[in-house]
């Protein structure tokens, strides 16, 4: 999947991946896509909840080895 920006949050624990994603999304234009890479097991719950609460769209989440890649379209 194509994306406009990439955020490496590997090794960071809750709530840091979501907090860093929120900050990075602020710099993107509406409709642009952020790829968030995270290893935090809680991110599988936190990221979809964050997207729903903030009006963003979680387009996909893909397991990639020890990490999960989240593709978030800014709302």
Whole-number Å distance between alpha carbons of 13 and 4:
24
Task: Give 18's DSSP letter.
Answer: H
Run of H or E residues at 68: strand 67-73
- DSSP-based three-state secondary structure for 65: coil
14 is catalytic: yes
Q: Which of 10, 14, 19, 28 is catalytic?
A: 14
31's tokens: 């409709």
Q: Annotated catalytic sites, by residue?
A: 14
């Amino acid at each position: 999947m194509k994306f406009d920006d990439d955020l490496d949050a590997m090794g960071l624990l809750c709530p840091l991946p979501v907090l860093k994603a929120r900050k990075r999304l602020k710099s993107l234009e509406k409709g642009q896509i952020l790829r968030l890479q995270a290893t935090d097991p809680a991110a599988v719950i936190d990221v979809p909840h964050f997207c729903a609460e903030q009006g963003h769209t979680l387009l996909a989440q893909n397991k990639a080895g020890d990490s999960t890649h989240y593709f978030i379209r800014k709302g």
